[in-house]
Amino acid sequence: MSKEGLIIEFNELCSSEIGNGTEFVDIVRMGDVKRYRVVDTKEKLLEYLENSKEYEENKIGILVMIECNNICGIFHNAIFLEKFKIDSYSEPKLEDSLYLSFTDCDFFKDIELLGGDYKRIKINESIISKNIFIRFINCEKSRINNVTFKEDIILENSDLGTLNINASKIDGNLLFQKVKILNDFILDKVKGSRDLDFIDCMFEGLSKLELDIRGELNFLQCSFYKKSEINFDKLNGKISFYKTNFSDRCYLEYELLENKKYKPLIFEDDLKRTKWNFLTVSDIYKSSGRTEQYLETFYYFKKYERLERKYEKGYKFSLLDYLIGITTKYYTSWKRALLSMGVIILAFFLLYCSFPNLLMNNHTPISEKNLFITIFDMYQTSNFDIHFLISKFGNTLYFTIITFTTVGYGDITPLNWMKLAVSLESFLGIFFTSSFVVSLSRRFL
């Protein structure tokens, strides 16, 4: 017996009992009421596919209450209460070129596509409440627009011509593993609440990503063969580029990373991963001409490379490596090198001012007493000799600078242990002058 006038709230569909013989139901969703035909047999579903345009013109959807197995076509305004599955390895064999389109659809159970050659897969304005599994497929064109994925997306061992995902939200995890995309790969205005993982993937065409990341965005051993662009509307999670190669130029959002002091690239519990992140990102910035960002990220790469070695077995502390990192940021900062030079010159200047009696100027000590004590004595007697102070401090500063720059005119000579201090300053002068030149050339040449 056909039952008419049955009204069901959308949120109560799973728990509602729809009796046998019910032809139509009215479903209330956010205040709107729409009519759906109840599809409880395969024959009814095939009949719908043959007359889908008529259903669309009459603004009637379908409520599919059976598991859909190996049924392809165009679905509009459909609600699937059971699993949707296409298995190309099962019998009878499916046709060679499949077409699958969903518009304004809701899925209450998993979607699974196993094998098959697809001409096109299109999902628009839909909600997928459970997982979607896609394995071993070939598809010329894939397009997803304004779709909400409430659980996981898993795409494995597949070849796609193009993949375009626009204005969609992924509440679960996304995993692409061993996926090859031959042409355009576009993720535009995609929100990821959890992890987006790309493992052993190949992107052979143009790649453009604009993401809102709250979990992790991970590229593991992936290859980008043409121009790529990675932007972020928001970045509240982490990014990883472990052993990922960019053969062509890549544009990577730099202002947001700079504002966050590159924290999205840092995994404190995984130093190797962090090291690879900064190595890859520094190469990206170098190839795109972002010199300042390149030098900054290259410094972080060297820093985490040293930290990684530190925690390895048999690690031996390298004072030189540590000092290079502190004083020159591994030859990436001419400002840090210049500051280090100034600190060293000041330190030796103070040393020479403390022992001017060990510095001979024309066979006469610069001063018999510590110059700072001399200033203190003048202060107590209120008898300041400005010309005397300028002469003594001036000669000491002059000697400090010509020693650091290894000019060494020989008019002022050290005595006793001061010779060792002067030799040390000369050595440091050679090292830091060279470091400054290298850092400066990296920045401006």
> Which residues fall within 8 angstroms of residue 421, CB to CB, at 6 or more apart?
348, 351, 414
Least confident of 8-12, 281-285, 433-437: 8-12
Q: Which of 24-28, 240-244, 305-309 shows the highest mean pLDDT?
A: 240-244
Compute the radius of gyration of the chain from its Cα atoms.
Answer: 36
- Asked if the structure places residue 1 within a domain, the reply is no
CA 250, chain centre distance (Å): 12
Task: Indicate whether 20 pLDDT > 80.
Answer: no
* The total number of structural domains that make up the chain: 1
Cα–Cα nearest to 184, from 214, 151, 234, 143 = 143
Q: What is the mean pLDDT of residues 69-84?
A: 94
**Cα 116 to Cα 93: distance, rounded to the nearest angstrom:** 10
**pLDDT over 90 percentage in the chain:** 68
* pLDDT for residue 220 is more than 90: yes
- Does residue 437 have a pLDDT over 90? yes
- Nearest Cα to 99, choosing from 74, 124, 76? 74
4 confidence band (pLDDT: 50, 70, 90): low
* Residue 2 reports pLDDT greater than 50: no
Q: 148-157, 252-261, 377-386: which has the highest mean pLDDT?
A: 148-157
The whole-number average pLDDT for the span 316-334 is 86
Query: For residue 385, what is the domain's CATH number?
Result: 1.10.287
User: Is 370 domain-assigned?
Assistant: yes
Distance CA 25, CA 63 (A): 8
In a domain, 41, yes or no: no
Which residue range(s) make up the domain with 435? 334-444
In a domain, 343, yes or no: yes
Q: Which two tokens stand for residue 127?
A: 């909600």
- Among the residue ranges 42-51, 56-65, 84-93, 162-171, the one predicted with the least confidence is 84-93
pLDDT band at 321 (very low <50, low <70, confident <90, very high): confident
Any domain includes 247 = no
Domain assignment present for residue 354? The answer is yes
Q: Give the model's confidence band at 95: pLDDT under 50 very low, under 70 low, under 90 confident, else very high.
A: confident
Q: Does residue 42 belong to any structural domain of this protein?
A: no
Pairwise pLDDT comparison (37 vs 316), residue with the higher score: 37
Give the pLDDT of residue 1: 34
User: What integer best gives the mean pLDDT of the chain?
Assistant: 91
Domain assignment of residue 403, yes or no: yes
* pTM summary value: 0.83
